[in-house]
């Protein structure tokens, strides 16, 4: 562990995901210090005791070599949705033991500093807004396309949280389709078609498709000319583009930033989606449609959480 950077005053940023817990120290001017990452136990237990033990061990290890009095605040981006005051995790489909856990007050009690808690996709969008591809824009829609599809919306420095902290769930907007049931229970959500899982399901339903290809494998054979794979990806891109057009018409953001594993397939997947979006926005929006790749990669969540923590300190 690199302990060469010690700050007199600092915040901790935490990114609590479905499979991992990342945490890092940041100075009050935003310089990154020590950073740790641990996988959460693969068998999520009923009351999340083992998960929480891992979570706090990461924080303890991070603090071990630091001046404890220098810790000013903690920012946490967590799976959600979260309750109205952002104090409690309302639902955690992949980590059911966290349901109902008052994460903010637990961390506040343990560390004795103020804690900001927000939904992970919102926090990642906030990171891109402040420090990444959204820098300089007044309003930003963020999309993270991987196993699922996460979203966030920031305007005039404020995250749109909604009444339950679950606003901007863009992966679960209705896009039409063939009546596919999404994991959220609704039918024909964007995520059911244009996420890695959605693309795999769609491809496997095609005639002659090989059953065991990963999403990455499907893109690979599409690049080699496989027709079923190419048609699947084109179909997913079309629905993604229509979803993006809806977001542009609803929010009229200055910029849309797309990250996540599938954004690496920019030419084959995102570019056709952008063309589809341009065909479906208002005529006056066509020219100013700005869709950019995310700049911070998997660090967007940590960057956003650190910004939230620093804001807590500044507002005191």
Binding site for Zn ion (CB under 5 A): 172, 182, 184, 186, 189
Of residues 198 and 298, the one with the C-beta less far from Zn ion: 198
Paired tokens of 127: 């990171």
Give min distance, CB of 233 to Zn ion, in A: 20
Alpha helix ranges (H) inside 26-157: 49-63, 103-111, 120-131
Paired tokens of 246: 């809806």
Q: Are 242 and 277 in contact (CB under 8 A)?
A: yes
Give min distance, CB of 150 to Zn ion, in A: 12
* DSSP labels, 193-206: HHSHHHHHHHHHTS
Give min distance, CB of 5 to Zn ion, in A: 42
Give min distance, CB of 297 to Zn ion, in A: 25
Of residues 51 and 191, the one with the C-beta less far from Zn ion: 191
Q: What own/partner pairs with CB < 8 Å and gap ≥ 24 does 66-70 have?
A: 66/6, 66/7, 66/10, 66/25, 66/34, 67/6, 67/8, 70/7, 70/8, 70/9, 70/10
Paired tokens of 110: 């343990």
Give the number of other Cβ atoms within 10 Å of residue 284's Cβ. Answer: 7
Of residues 22 and 242, the one with the C-beta less far from Zn ion: 242
* Strand order through the sheet with 139-145: 158-159, 149-155, 139-145, 255-259, 291-293
Give min distance, CB of 218 to Zn ion, in A: 21
Give min distance, CB of 166 to Zn ion, in A: 12
* DSSP labels, 14-32: EEE-SSEEEEEEEETT--E
Of residues 16 and 189, the one with the C-beta less far from Zn ion: 189
In terms of Cβ atoms closer than 10 Å to its own Cβ (0-12, 13-18, 19+), residue 198 is buried
Of residues 106 and 184, the one with the C-beta less far from Zn ion: 184
Of residues 139 and 144, the one with the C-beta less far from Zn ion: 144
Of residues 189 and 228, the one with the C-beta less far from Zn ion: 189
**Cα gap 299→202, rounded to integer Å:** 30
Q: Are 22 and 59 in contact (CB under 8 A)?
A: no
Of residues 81 and 132, the one with the C-beta less far from Zn ion: 81
Give min distance, CB of 183 to Zn ion, in A: 6
Give min distance, CB of 132 to Zn ion, in A: 26
Q: Where are the beta strands (DSSP E) in the chain?
A: 10-16, 20-27, 32-39, 71-78, 115-119, 139-145, 149-155, 158-159, 255-259, 291-293
């Amino acid at each position: 562990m690199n302990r060469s950077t010690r700050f007199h005053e600092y915040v901790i940023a935490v990114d609590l995901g479905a499979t991992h817990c990342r945490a890092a120290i940041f100075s009050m001017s935003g310089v990154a210090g020590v950073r740790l990452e641990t996988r959460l136990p693969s068998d999520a237990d009923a009351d999340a005791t083992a998960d929480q033990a891992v979570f706090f061990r990461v924080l303890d290890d991070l603090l071990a070599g630091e001046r404890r009095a220098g810790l000013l605040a903690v920012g946490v981006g967590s799976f959600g949705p979260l309750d109205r005051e952002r104090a409690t995790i309302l639902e955690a489909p992949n980590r059911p033991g966290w349901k109902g856990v008052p994460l903010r007050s637990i961390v506040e009690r343990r560390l004795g500093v103020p804690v900001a808690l927000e939904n992970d996709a919102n926090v990642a969008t906030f990171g891109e807004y402040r420090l990444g591809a959204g820098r300089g824009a007044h309003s930003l829609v963020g999309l993270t396309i991987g196993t699922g599809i996460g979203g966030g919306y920031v305007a005039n420095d404020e995250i749109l949280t909604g009444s339950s902290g679950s606003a901007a769930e863009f992966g679960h907007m209705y896009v039409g389709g063939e009546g596919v049931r999404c994991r959220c229970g609704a039918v024909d959500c964007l995520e059911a078609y244009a996420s890695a899982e959605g693309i795999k399901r769609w491809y496997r339903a095609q005639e002659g498709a090989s059953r065991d290809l990963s999403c990455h494998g499907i893109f690979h054979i599409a690049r080699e000319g496989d027709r079923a794979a190419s048609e699947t990806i084109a179909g997913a891109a079309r629905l993604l583009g229509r979803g993006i057009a809806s977001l542009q018409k609803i929010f009229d953001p200055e910029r849309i930033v797309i990250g996540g594993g599938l954004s690496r397939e920019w030419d084959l997947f995102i570019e056709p989606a952008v063309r589809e979006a341009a065909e479906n926005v208002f005529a006056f929006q066509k020219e100013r449609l700005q869709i950019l790749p995310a700049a911070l990669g998997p660090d967007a969540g940590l960057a956003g959480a650190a910004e939230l923590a620093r804001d807590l300190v500044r507002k005191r």
